[in-house]
Structure 1
């Protein structure tokens, strides 16, 4: 048995696709208090005090639609003062899921198709894969939370000021020049 990188994540909430109906199903992901320290370490923040993800899942055939909101209270370290400060996050989440085989079929160009790379703005994201009939809402929660963190957090009211330039030390050659000039 191989260990995937997702197995090392501190939060898992697997949901079987067949348990989701056509009607929206509410799902709440709240980690145990003991898991918050491991989540803080994973995210690279000083601490996580509260984390709650409220999702609505609905199914259409083999595809799933996930919508919801992640609310988190945590402390990040200021890049200027290095002191932890509180941060409140409200992260909207909207994802589509499809079976792995369907995603692989969409990604393969047919033999007639020319390979053409084109960047389209406002194009919908491709669906996420449903792996072995399950999706892991813990992984989704951690990914969206990690993406919403400020990579250079600054404590409110703190500004970075450039240090005053140091006066250059006198060159040893300047001292020798002074000796040469003296009678």
Structure 2
């Protein structure tokens, strides 16, 4: 077993859906807002790209969630148009999504790395993001396999400072 540490984590999930559909869910505005975000903007060369267009390395993104006023801004570090996409995320962290076709479906491997190891980052990024990605990957699986969404979109939790740590579906 590899040594576990607070500077990265890995989440894996098998999804019974075509690899191409899962890549679309991560690489387009329409895909990201179908299962994950309230809104998403992708910028290339200073201009917003079409909501159906696949991102490319160097594109900037802005992600906006339900139930939270914060925004995540970053860049697409890599995107091969097929089975691998890498974002900057949560400050200086790296979010790596790899897809692999298997007989049983598509294996999605999410790695968040370059996490600072100060106490605040251990709580907010390592623990918070690790827990969050477990939910969001389950939400993606439920969406693609069963056509349902598990996340809360109508309950306003913006005034609850512990909401992200206590609710399992935001």
TM-score by length of 1: 0.28
Larger radius of gyration: 1
Q: Which has the higher contact order (CA 8 A, sep 6+)?
A: 2
